Chain A
Amino acid sequence: AQSVTQPDIHITVSEGASLELRCNYSYGATPYLFWYVQSPGQGLQLLLKYFSGDTLVQGIKGFEAEFKRSQSSFNLRKPSVHWSDAAEYFCAVGPYGGATNKLIFGTGTLLAVQP
């Protein structure tokens, strides 16, 4: 069955430090991969997505992610974290069965940023 694992429930980094959020997926074929961010009290905003081609994808807010098929991973990175990056981050995979646009979400990683 398709699934997404985000091993880190909670991460704290210092402002200005680099960030890597882990995401592993289980999928029968080449997946479509997404990272969403949820700021407190807000809906989910798409950071970036991977469908095919270059395995390093750039997103908004200075984020990037790298697709590694051999490791079934799609880790999110940012070279220098800002206090405004404090939020919950969700990795997601799609499609599911091809019949819908349903996304399979991971359980999320809550990022705290220390001054």
Chain B
Amino acid sequence: EAQVTQNPRYLITVTGKKLTVTCSQNMNHEYMSWYRQDPGLGLRQIYYSMNVEVTDKGDVPEGYKVSRKEKRNFPLILESPSPNQTSLYFCASSFRRTSTDTQYFGPGTRLTVL
């Protein structure tokens, strides 16, 4: 089944404790990205990757890192999480980077930083 998976689905952590949210897709997609969803703000892009070893900042990259060492995986790293990073995070992928390609979203990771 074609899908985007994220782990963990729920995470509660404390300020400053490094964490990684994994994202994996099995569709051989080139383009992957991370969004965060906050009430009243919709989804905002954090980082994106157009292919292996090619990543760039989205609209709200501060406090986040990403890597793309393999085509299928695109982990989101919070080196020192803070409470303002409490949010619902979505990973998305598409075959190419053009907007005509449908983006497929993962189920989301709900992160709480205390």
- Which residues of A pack against B, CB within 8 Å? 4, 32, 36, 41-46, 49, 51, 90, 92, 94-95, 99-103, 105-108
Residues of chain B within 8 A of A36, CB atoms compared: 105
Would you call B79 an interface residue if the criterion is a C-beta within 8 Å of the partner chain's C-beta atoms?
no
Question: Chain B: how many interface residues by the 8 Å CB criterion?
Answer: 30
Task: From the candidates A32, A42, A46, A107, name the one contacting B99 in the complex (CB within 8 A).
Answer: A32
Would you call B56 an interface residue if the criterion is a C-beta within 8 Å of the partner chain's C-beta atoms?
yes
Q: Is the CB of A106 within 8 A of B107?
A: no
Q: Is the CB of B58 within 8 A of A102?
A: yes
Beyond known contacts A102-B33, A108-B42: 4 more, CB 8 A cutoff: A92-B43, A100-B50, A101-B94, A105-B44
Residue of A nearest to B44 (CB): A105
Residue of A nearest to B93 (CB): A101
Q: Is the CB of A44 within 8 A of B33?
A: no
* Subset of 22 A-B contacts with CB under 8 Å: A32-B99, A42-B107, A42-B108, A43-B106, A44-B43, A51-B100, A90-B42, A90-B43, A94-B99, A95-B98, A95-B99, A101-B31, A101-B33, A101-B94, A101-B96, A101-B103, A102-B33, A102-B48, A102-B59, A103-B99, A107-B40, A107-B42
Q: A100-B50, A101-B48, A108-B42 are in contact. Are A43 and B99 (CB under 8 A)?
A: no
Chain B, residues 43-76, CB within 8 Å of chain A (1/0): the string is 1110010100000101100000000000000000
Would you call B20 an interface residue if the criterion is a C-beta within 8 Å of the partner chain's C-beta atoms?
no
